[in-house]
Structures are given as structure tokens and as C-alpha cells.
A and B are shown apart, each in its own frame.
Chain A
Amino acid sequence: MRHQPTYILFAAICLVAAAVLWLSIIAAPTEDARTSKAWHSMPPATLTAEAIRPLPEQTFQDPRKVALGRELFHDPRLSHDDTLACASCHVLAMGGTDRVARSIGIGGAVSAVNAPTVFNSGFNFVQFWDGRAATLEDQIDGPIHDPGELGSNWAEILRKLRRDPDYMDAFEDIYRDGLHRDNVKDAIATYERSLVTPNARFDKFLRGDADAIAEQEKIGYQRFSSLGCISCHQGLNVGGNMFQEFGVMGDYFADRGGITEADYGRYNVTGEDEDRYVFKVPSLRNVALTAPYFHDGSAQTLQEAVRVMGKYQLGRNLQADEIASLVAFLNTLTGEFDGARK
């Protein structure tokens, strides 16, 4: 009986303390774990009357992710039979493409469209010829699963990659949750974003070096503008920021013949008639290195590509000197990668 007051007092203090603790726990703000785009730190786009803008001289990507992405990009374990890597069709030494009309996938399968260059792909507003992927991360799913390309799936790839202790360590170092699909995608996409080719001669010209391009090339640029090419091929990537119908001023596909499903372009994504034969306007950067041209790889040379564009997109027959100067101009769009022109 004598000890009871102390006992009750102690119990009361314990209860109050527990209540306070509980309240402080439920009141603790929960961390919003979602990572948003870094939109809040980006300044509004600069306004300029110039239609073509020079590429930034460098991009700032996490070097560890870039290194890991480079490994993955060149790793044949991303294909079903361990024969092909991303780099098999996007050869960095060949302008980020494979210089064939349509790439050869695993087991000799032929893919549906021409492989676009991986260089500067981070500046494209959507990915694929038909723009079905909004980001580079989403784009990776395409070639991974396409039976005509890598023909694999994530479960298989992760199984293979997890057997490699070097990968396990590298992922553990960089990512909190280690080797996972989204982190593989992130590493590859980060690497791809680092594949930028600055310092093209034309970029130097845009930056004020009037002697960076020759007289004929200047004439070519002038024609590029006055003929209307620049209506679609503009911006940072000289294209890659809009869709356009292939054959605005003439029926390209009727003239070519042999229409495939891939020729429907964006229609395959939206299902709207308006989008039939509509493709992403490709970037013209490094275009001199990425023959053959168009989604079907039908133009073997730049001259041929320019001629086709003039006929079907501009509705005019370009003269030989026009084509020559335009090609000369297009050659000035070849940039540097790893400090060298490829």
C-alpha cells in the first residue's frame, strides 16, 4: 500500500511519454520519394531567331552511371543468344549506326526499320521513327524485346547480369536498390545522354567563327533555309523535335512501292488516319556518317536523300548545284565525340 502513489505516478508518466512519442511519430512528415524531373531548376528556353542552335559543349551526367552504362551498352548478354549488344547496331565508330538499310538481329532476323544513330538521341523529343517512346529509358524496352533485334526479356537479362559480381558491385555502389530493371535502364539512358557530338564546324560558325565553314557550305546553309528544309530540320538537333508526313508534296510510298506496316509510321501508335506515313523528323547532326537514309534505308547517299526530300517534302526538283551545296552544308554538321570526328 505504501508504494502505490509512486507506482501510479510512474505509470502516468510512462503513458504520457508513450502518447507524446506516438504523436511525434504519426506527425512526422512522410518523405515524398518520387523523383521528379529536374524541371524546377531549369531556366526557361532561351529565345533566338536563329533556327538552328549549337549543341552544348558538354553535358553533365554522373560519370559512374556513364561508365556502367557504357559496359551495358556493349554487353551482348542483353541479347537472347549472347551475340548482340546495343553497340552492335549503334556502332560509335560509325556515327552511332550500322550503315545498313535494316539491322540484322539475333539469328539473322532483319529489323523493320533503319537503325537511327544513338548520338545526340537525348535531344530528340521522342524516340523511334514513330515516336512511340517518350524517353530513352522507355526506348530500351523496344530493341530488348523485338525478336528481330535483341529478342530477350528483362527476367532473362537480369538473371544473366546478376551472375556477374562486377555488375552486382557496380550497381550496389551507385543505386540504393542494386541491380534492377529500372536501374539498368537508367544507366544505359544516362550513357546515351552522354553521347553528344559538339563542336561541329557549323556550331562553331553559329558561335561566331565565320571562317569555320567554307563559302560553298555557307551557300548550302543559305539554301537550306530558303528552300524550306529548315522548317522541319531546326533546333538544337537540326530536327528531332517534331513529326512530319513523309510525302507532303508527293506520294513517296506509291512511287517507291511495297508498302510495309512500318511505313504507316505514327499511325501504328495513334491509330489516327491523320498520322498515316507520319514520322519523327530525324536529326541531321552527323548525317554524313549515317547512310543509308530514311526509315526504310532506301537512300544510299546524301545526294539521293536530299533529292528525295526536295521532291516529296518541298515539292520541287532540286538542281544538281543545289544538292551539292546542301550536301556540303550537311557535312558541316558532323561533330566530335571523345575529341575526334568519326
Chain B
Amino acid sequence: MTLLRGGYVLMVLVAISILTFVFIRSQTIDPDRHYRITDRLRLLKQYDAILSQDTLKLRANLLGHYDSLVESLDQISGLIADLEAGPVAIVGKGRPEIDRLVESYARAHAERRKMLERFKKRNATLRNSLLYFPSAVEKFLAGIKNQREYERTFRSLEILTRDVLVDYVDKSSGLHPRLQSRIDMLVSLSDRMPSDVGEQISSLMSHARIIGSHKREVSEILEVVLSGNMSNIAENIYNSYQTQHVNSQKTERIFTFLLYMSSVLLMACIINILFRLAQATHRLSQANETLERRVEARTKELTQEIIERKRVEAAAREHQEEMARVLRINMMGEMASALAHEINQPLAAIMNYARGCLLRIRAKKFKRDEFGSAIEEICAQAERASKVVHHIREFVKKPAFSRKPMDLNELVVSAAKFAEIELRHSEVRVEFDLAERLPAVPVDSIQIEQVILNLIRNSIDAMQELEVTSRLITIRTSANNGSALDIAVCDIGSGVPDSIAEKIFDPFFTTKSQGVGMGLAISRTIVEAHSGRLWNTSNSGRGATFGFTIPYRREGESHVL
């Protein structure tokens, strides 16, 4: 059962793991994040476009300030920081490609930022010089126009100014390479001129230089910025993100389907388990019912058997009781002379008293008081005889099965009294060694009395050979282990020879000339009917001890059949 349950737990764990894996794979796209990223990529393209637009306007002098340029650059920097910091909502091989693109865009953006800073610086200076140079030249030329010593300078400055402006307007004019040396020439000329004129010329030439060089630098920067390279990267990022998103959606759909399938499977498994559980419960209740029916039937059979057995036992007991009774009657027969003597004695006494009374009545010399005591004596003697007869009658009557708690000491004394006549006749002394406070044991008193009497009579018989003075029977009662009582009759007679020791309890075995050999056999049957045991031992001196042990139930102990 434990193994089975362990298997179930394992199966459930495996199922949960599989479901979890499939679930995670089917949840790769976080819509919120996806929209945010899409939004950022879209804005990136948008600001990139605005930036290009502004740059174009700046080149065409349509935009007078750099605020929007600065703002677009800041926005793009913020977008890049966001894209670089936040994980893109794509799992799989598309992710590194997008990261690489974003990284390359970030690098290009930093470079562009730097270039645009240079552009702002150069453009400002360029515009200043462009504004100033032509008018300053004009003003300067107007000042020296009619001075003959500056005629050559005047002319070359006029041509240079025209060429600088042409070069500014038309890059492909081819004038630029020679412009530098002509400017240098004019500067060196100015050194030989009076300081105020010379300074003015060198100042003008620095503006001319700036127009030439800054124009080129600014154009180069703008060309790079406007080359479309950045916009392409931004477009690429956007496109590959979308492609990857579509791919992950496909994967997600597959795993969603798998999730659905495994959920269905799991449900089927659960339903199956529940169904089997229901079946098992049903089978179990059926089995229970069958079992109950069988138990009932068996109980009935057993009850029948018990009744039958009781009936048989009752018959056996009846038979045994009948046997015991027959034996008691037989025993009475054997004891008849002794019993007759016992009855005869009071009868003789009665007769004597009665005769004495009669003589006195006939002689007419009597005292009234003497009759009284004589008749009292007659009554006492008659009662004594009646008791004996009653005892005999009780002993031989067909008894009803009855077990009452009895004091075994009492039974011992009663049995001894029964045997008194024989004892007296055989001149055997009896000694009692009775344990005090023996518990009352439920026994059939007549049968147990029969056993004791039988043992006493056997002992009397065993001591016929002995000297009259030494004939002694000791009757002993004792508690054995607190769960049984021992009653032992001990004599100092001939004992039990080893040759017959095994046969003495057999029916019809006897050593007596007049016995039927049923005494010990029936005694054993009676004791065993009381769950007891009849036993005998040889005494250490001489003689034998016969006894029996009757177990009894202690207070509170359950009744054992």
C-alpha cells in the first residue's frame, strides 16, 4: 500500500513538473512588456526621423535653435537605456541578435551625439563668419578702394572673397585646394602692411579660413548623420523584434496546445483514479456484505454445534451422574452393616428407654419427672436415626445438576461423619489438617462428598493389616497457588505397589475381594467434570496419599468455557 502511494506521489510530481514546464513555455510573451517594447522601438524610429529632419533643417538654416535636437538626442538616449536595461520579451535565439543591434545602435548614437556637439560648435562659428565676412570685406574694401598701394591686395581680396563664397555654395567647384594657399599668401602680405590694415586683413582671413574648413566639417558631419545608417539600424531592430515576436508566438501556440492536451490527459487520469476509487469502494462494501453474511451463517452453525455439544455433554454428565449414583448406592450396600449398626444403636437405645418406661408404668411405681427425661432421650435417639436415614437418602437420591459455592472443609467433615461408623468399626483415627479461609468453590456437593468418602474408605481398607492402635488417616485441605484447592487423604497403609500403579484408575480394577473396581474410576470422572485432577503419591514413610485438585476462578476473572 505504501509502495503504491509512493508511486502515486511520484506520478503526481512528474505530472506537475511537465505541466509547469509546458506552462512556462506557453507564457513566454508578456503582453504588457511586448507593448512597451514595441512602443519604445516605434518611438526610437520616430525620434530618429525627427532628428534627421531637424538636422536637415539646420543645414538649410530653417531652424534657429538646437532645443529640439537636444531633446531628440535625450529621448533616444533614454529609449536606449530602457531597451538595454529591461529584458526584451523574447526567449530564444532572437534575443542576442536584438541585443546586438541595440548595442550597435547605442554605440552609433553616442558617436552621433559627439558629432552633433561638434556640429553645433562649428555651425555657430560658421554662421557667424558667414554673416560677418562678406559685409566686413565690403566695408574694408570700401575703406581702401582708392589707395594705390593696396590695389593688388584689393583685387586679390575681392577675388578671394568671391571664391570663398563660391566654394561655400558649391563644394564641387574645385576651388578649395588653392584657397588655403591664397589665404596664407594674403596673411603674409598683411604682415608688411601698416598694423591697422594688416590686422583687419588677418582677421578677415581667419573668418575665410573658418568658412572653408568649418563648411567642410559641418557637411561631413551632416552627411554621416543623415546617411540613414542609424535609421536603418532602428528599422532593423524594429523588424527583427517583430519577426522574433511572431516566432515566439508560434512557439507559444504550440506549447499552449501542449498545455491543453496535458491538462486534458491529467483530467482523464484524475477521473480514472476517481472512477477506480469509486469501484474499489463499491467492491469493498460488497465484500463486507458477503463477509457479514458468512459470519452470520458460521455463527449459526457454531451455535448449533455448541447446542449439540452441550446436549452431548449433558447426556454424558447425566450418564456419569447416574454412574456415580449407582456407585453411591453400591457403596451404601457395602456400608449397609455399618449403617444398619448406626441406625440400630439409637433404635436399641430407644427400645431400652421405652422398655424402662413400660416396666415402671406396669409396676406403677414411677415418678413423673423420670418419664420426661426418658422420652426426651427417645426423641433425641430417634432424631439421630432419622438423620442417618436422611443422610443415606440424600446420598443415593437422583440428584439434580446443581453446583453451588461450597466450603470444601465442610464437605470433608460431612464425608468423614458418613464414614464415622466404619472408622469406629475399623478403629481408625482421623486427623484433620484443614486450611483456614478457603474460598467457596462451586461444586456438586454430593459428588465431591462421594469422592472424599471413597478415598477415606480406600484408606480404611488399606490399613486392615496394621496394628489397631496405629491406624491413622490424615485429611488435609490447602490452597494451591491461589487458583486451585487440594484435598488429600493420607494413610499409612500398604501403599500402591508399582506393578498396579498405572491401573488403579482403570474401571473394574480392584484389589478388594468384594469391590466392583469402579470407585477410583468414577472419582476421577467426577473430579475431571469439575476441571480438576485426581492424583496419588507414595508417602515417604509408608502408605499412600490420594487427593484431588479443583481449580477455581478468582474474583473478577472471566469465565473460560
Q: Is the CB–CB distance between A241 and B128 below 8 Å? A: no
Known interface pairs A34-B86, A241-B66; 20 further A-B residue pairs with C-beta atoms within 8 A, sorted by A's residue number: A5-B278, A16-B270, A22-B20, A26-B20, A32-B86, A36-B78, A40-B39, A42-B71, A44-B50, A44-B68, A45-B67, A49-B63, A50-B64, A52-B64, A53-B67, A125-B74, A228-B131, A241-B67, A248-B125, A249-B207
The answer to the question of A158 belonging to the interface, with a C-beta cut-off of 8 Å to chain B, is: no
Q: How far is the CB of A150 from chain B (nearest CB, A)?
A: 28
A15-B12, A44-B46 known; A23 and B19 CB under 8 Å?
yes
Task: Pick the residue among A39, A44, A244, A315 that contacts B129 (CB under 8 A).
Answer: A315
Give 1 or 0 for each of A208-230: 1 = CB within 8 Å of chain B CB: 00000000000000000011101
Q: Is the C-beta of B294 less than 8 angstroms from some C-beta in chain A?
A: no
Could you list some 29 contacts between A and B, CB below 8 A? A5-B277, A5-B280, A8-B8, A8-B273, A9-B277, A12-B12, A12-B273, A15-B12, A22-B20, A27-B27, A29-B33, A36-B78, A37-B78, A39-B79, A44-B50, A45-B54, A49-B63, A51-B65, A53-B65, A228-B124, A228-B128, A231-B124, A235-B67, A236-B65, A241-B66, A241-B67, A242-B70, A315-B129, A315-B206
Interface residue A278 (Cβ < 8 Å from any Cβ of B): yes
Given contacts A45-B72, A249-B206, contact A52 B36 (CB under 8 A): no
Partner among B40, B120, B136, B274 whose Cβ is within 8 Å of the Cβ of A243: B120
Least CB distance, A194 to chain B, in whole angstroms: 20
**A109 CB-CB contact with B under 8 Å:** no
Name A13's closest neighbour in chain B (CB-CB): B270
Complex alpha-carbon distance, A27 and B203, angstroms: 72
Find residues 23-61 in chain B having any chain A CB closer than 8 Å to their own CB: 23-24, 27, 30, 32-33, 36, 39-40, 43, 46-47, 50, 54, 57
B23 A241 Cβ-Cβ under 8 A: no
**A279-307 to B contact mask, C-beta < 8 Å, 1/0:** 00000000000000000000000000000
Most buried by A among B33, B67, B136: B67
Q: Does A336 contact B (CB under 8 A)?
A: no
For the complex, give the distance between the alpha carbons of A283 and B54 in Å. Answer: 22
Please tell me if the beta carbons of B16 and A230 are within 8 angstroms of each other in the complex: no
Interface centre among B20, B117, B136, B203 (most CB of A within 10 A): B117
Q: Give CA–CA (A45, B72) in the complex, Å.
A: 8
Judge whether B253 is part of the interface by a CB distance below 8 angstroms. Answer: no
**Is A189 on the interface with B (CB-CB < 8 A)?**
no
Q: A29-B32, A39-B79 in contact; A316/B132 too (CB < 8 A)?
A: yes
B residues 80-133 in Cβ contact with A at 8 Å:
81-82, 85-86, 117-118, 120-121, 123-125, 127-129, 131-132
Q: Which of A47, A234, A248 contacts B66 (CB 8 A)?
A: A234
B281 part of interface (Cβ distance < 8 Å): yes
Is B75 at the interface (CB under 8 A from chain A)? yes
B358: which A residues are within 8 A, CB to CB? Answer: none
By size class, the interface of chain B is 35 or more
A278 and B121: CB pair below 8 A?
A: yes
Chain B residue nearest to A1 (CB atoms) is B284
Residue pair A40, B121 in contact (C-beta under 8 Å): no
Could you tell me if B20 and A23 are in contact, using CB atoms closer than 8 angstroms? yes
The 7 closest A-B pairs by CB, nearest first: A51-B64, A45-B68, A228-B128, A231-B124, A235-B65, A234-B65, A242-B120
B12, B32, B74, B125: the one contacting A231 at CB < 8 Å is B125
Given A40-B39, A44-B50, A228-B131, A241 and B203 contact (CB-CB distance below 8 Å): no
Asked whether A230 and B64 contact (CB < 8 A) given A27-B23, A34-B86, A242-B120, the answer is yes
B127 touches A228 (CB 8 A): yes
Q: B65–A34 contact, CB under 8 A?
A: no
Whether a CB of chain B sits under 8 angstroms from the CB of A245 is yes
- Tell me which of B78, B117, B207, B284 contacts A315 (CB under 8 A): B207
Selected contact of A47 from candidates B20, B63, B128, B203, CB within 8 Å: B63
User: A93 an interface residue at 8 Å Cβ cutoff?
Assistant: no
**Does B363 sit within 8 A of A, measured CB to CB?**
no
Q: Given A5-B280, A49-B64, A315-B207, A39–B78 Cβ distance below 8 Å?
A: yes
A84: shortest Cβ distance to chain B, in Å? 32
CA distance A55 to B43 in the complex (A): 26
Q: How far is the CB of B97 from chain A (nearest CB, A)?
A: 22
CB contacts under 8 Å to B, within A80-114, are none
Partner of B124, one of A12, A37, A48, A242: A242
A-B contact count (CB 8 A): 150
Q: Is the CB of B281 within 8 A of A5?
A: yes
A107 CA / B79 CA spacing, docked (Å): 44
B281 / chain A contacts, CB cutoff of 8 Å: 5
Given contacts A23-B20, A242-B120, A243-B121, contact A42 B75 (CB under 8 A): yes
Q: Say yes or no: A316-B136 contact (C-beta < 8 A), given A39-B75, A228-B127.
A: yes
Contact B23 A236 (CB under 8 A): no
Check if A19 is an interface residue, CB within 8 A of chain B: yes
- Judging by beta carbons under 8 Å apart, are B132 and A19 in contact? no
Q: How many chain A residues have a CB neighbour from B under 8 Å? A: 54
Cβ of A314 < 8 Å from any Cβ of B?
yes
Chain A residue, CB-CB nearest to B78: A37
Q: Across the interface, do B131 and A36 meet the contact criterion of CB distance under 8 Å?
A: no
In the complex, the chain A residue whose C-beta lies closest to that of B23 is: A23
B64: nearest chain-A partner, CB-CB: A51
Bound: A313/B128 CA distance, A:
9
A184 contacts the other chain (Cβ, under 8 Å)?
no
Check: B62 CB closer than 8 A to any chain A CB: yes
Q: Which residues of A contact B16 (CB under 8 A)?
A: 15, 19
Residues 1-43 of A, flagged 1 when their CB comes within 8 A of B and 0 if not, give 1100100110010011001001100110100101011011010
B412 nearest CB across to chain A (Å): 59
Residue of A whose beta carbon sits closest to that of B77:
A134
Return chain A residues, CB-CB under 8 Å to B8: 8
Question: Shortest CB–CB separation between residue A243 and chain B, in angstroms?
Answer: 6
- B125, A241: Cβ atoms under 8 Å? no
Q: Is A235's CB under 8 angstroms from B120's CB?
A: no
B71 touches which of A45, A230, A242 (Cβ 8 Å) = A45
Residue A232 CB within 8 A of the other chain: yes
Given A45-B50, A242-B66, A249-B206: A40 and B43 interface contact (C-beta under 8 Å)? yes
A73 to B47, CA, bound (A): 35
The docked-state distance in angstroms from the alpha carbon of A180 to that of B458 is: 119
Q: Which residues of B contact A182 (CB under 8 A)?
A: none
Please give me the residue from chain A that is nearest to B266 by CB atom. A16
Q: How far is the CA of A23 from the CA of B17 in the complex (A)?
A: 10
Asked if A177 is at the interface of the complex by the 8 Å CB criterion, the answer is: no
In the complex, whether A261 has a CB less than 8 A from a CB of chain B is no
Q: Which of B62, B124, B277 contacts A232 (CB 8 A)?
A: B124
Tell me if B67 and A231 are in contact (CB < 8 A): no
- A236 contacts B27, C-beta separation under 8 Å: no
The smallest C-beta distance from A36 to any residue of chain B, in angstroms, reads: 5
A274 within 8 A of B: yes
B282 to A: closest C-beta gap in Å: 10
**Smallest Cβ distance from A182 to chain B, in angstroms?**
16
- Closest Cβ of chain B to A14, distance in Å, is 10
Contact A32 B36 (CB under 8 A): yes
Contacts of B131 in A (CB 8 A): 226-228
A160 to chain B, nearest CB (A): 33
- In contact, B20 and A314 (Cβ under 8 angstroms): no
List the B side residues contacting A50 at CB < 8 Å. 64-65
For A32, the chain B residues whose CB sits under 8 A away are: 33, 36, 86
| CA of A309 to CA of B283, assembled, Å | 106
Asked whether, in the complex, the Cβ of B117 is within 8 Å of the Cβ of A243, the reply is yes
**Residue numbers in A under 8 Å from B206 (CB-CB):** 249, 315
B27 touches A315 (CB 8 A): no
User: For residue B30, which residues in chain A have a CB less than 8 angstroms away from its CB?
Assistant: 29
